[in-house]
Structure 1
Amino acid sequence: MSPAFSHGDLRLYILSLLEEAPRHGYDLMQALSERTGGTYSPSAGTIYPRLSKLEDEGLVTKTVDGRKTVYEITDAGRAEVAARTSDLEGIQAGLADSVRLIADEVRGSVRDAMRSLRADLAAASREEREHAQATPADDARSRSREQLSRADAAINEFRGRVRSELRSHVARGGELAASGVDDIEAALRHATEAVARAMRT
């Protein structure tokens, strides 16, 4: 998975979260996960070394509150956040775009699933009515319709899975090159030709 933050951005974003309020390490990890729509869930091994470095630089201080260590931004830390306002706005805009892409993906997947379900229910209803009225001469046609429903379901599942993977890849900052799309189109053409050959046998 591509990182949600480029070099140096995570450091600045942690400072901005501490500017909002003092936080302990786990609270910072939760806030980062929530604000990235779940696309980035940092580990303790990522957060605490950065907090330690910020403390060494005099940008944050820490106090022990029971079993928790609470970090608070210093005046020097606030000054750095203020000096890099435009950088912070760019980071926030990028996160908002990522979350929006994920939301669009979820909505699209739900719409696809609902359309597929409605189509499956309609097909099942038609098949049930036709089966009730069928004569022995209709058996072969009925079996073909059953297999057509299986094929439709398999195609819809494949389409939804590939679409979801592509959208997730782009939402998480991955690159989708034209050559990659060319490969996808070529693979789909081969699959279509294979289906046509199967129908002729």
Structure 2
Amino acid sequence: MAQVFAHGQLRLYLLALLEDGARHGYELITALSDRFGGTYRPSAGTVYPRLARLEEEGLVRRSDEGRKATYTLTDAGRAELDARRGDLAHLEAEIAETVREQASQVRHDVQAAMRGLRADLASAAQRARDAATPVPGEPDPQRTASHRRRVEAEAIVRRFGDEVRADLRRADAGAGVDELTVETLRTVLDTALRTMRSTVR
């Protein structure tokens, strides 16, 4: 992704993320990634220097707990955040628009990939049908292969469902399931279903 935050915006957003309570640096990075639906994840080299600068300015307080450092908003940090509520609201609107644009791009990319996959699957299915020539009196190899592939396909569907459900439960128990995740899942599954149906006769 191109530059996400303009000058000073990441600094402001870090203060906003600390408003609800103390967080580790990794938790702040994860919270930023979640806010962007996973389409943007700042590096440690981006976040930690800004946290150190905020600490120097007296806007956050760092507390070392073992190998982890926890950052807490100070009274001065809360005062700056209160003074910049308008800037923060504008930033939130920009982030929401960025997420919507990314969701649209994801849907477009998935649909384009699925269109190509649909054509490939239809072509492969037709070649398999054309090549099948059962011998009279012997088990139909096409039916045998079809049964094996159906069982394999059903196992793939079950495994996919189990893994997606597990991921969603973990997300729900953590930062929560965002709109982009649901919209992407809906787009992928709807397109995959249409693709599969176009190859099954």
Q: Which amino acid aligns with 2:107?
A: R
Task: Measure, in 1, the Cα distance between the counterparts of 2:13 and 2:35.
Answer: 11
Relative distance call for 1:70 and 1:104 in structure 2 (3 A) is: same
Q: Which amino acid aligns with 1:33?
A: S
Between stretches 50-59 and 10-19, larger displacement belongs to 50-59
Deviation at 1:43, TM superposition (A): 2.5
Pair member with larger Rg? 1
TM-score, reference length from structure 2: 0.57
User: 1:66-122: per-residue Cα shift (whole Å, max 9, x none)?
Assistant: 221111001221121111111111211211222222222222222223333333344
Match of 1:7 in 2: 7
Match of 2:101 in 1: 101
Structure 2: which 5+ runs fail to align? 133-201
Task: Measure, in 2, the Cα distance between the counterparts of 1:51 and 1:128.
Answer: 60
Match of 1:22 in 2: 22
Relative distance call for 1:122 and 1:31 in structure 2 (3 A) is: same
Percent identity over the alignment is 57
Match of 1:42 in 2: 42
Relative distance call for 1:127 and 1:43 in structure 2 (3 A) is: closer
Map 1:1-201; keep pairs closer than 5 Å: 1-124=1-124
Higher helix share: 1
CA RMSD of aligned residues (A): 2.4
Task: Measure, in 2, the Cα distance between the counterparts of 1:67 and 1:125.
Answer: 56
Relative distance call for 1:2 and 1:121 in structure 2 (3 A) is: closer
Q: Residue 62 of structure 2: SS of its match in structure 1?
A: strand
Check the 8 A contact 1:4/1:39 in 2, yes or no.
no
TM-score, reference length from structure 1: 0.57
Task: Measure, in 2, the Cα distance between the counterparts of 1:52 and 1:120.
Answer: 52
Task: Measure, in 1, the Cα distance between the counterparts of 2:43 and 2:118.
Answer: 42
Structure 1: which 5+ runs fail to align? 133-201
Task: Measure, in 1, the Cα distance between the counterparts of 2:64 and 2:125.
Answer: 65
Task: Measure, in 2, the Cα distance between the counterparts of 1:119 and 1:45.
Answer: 44
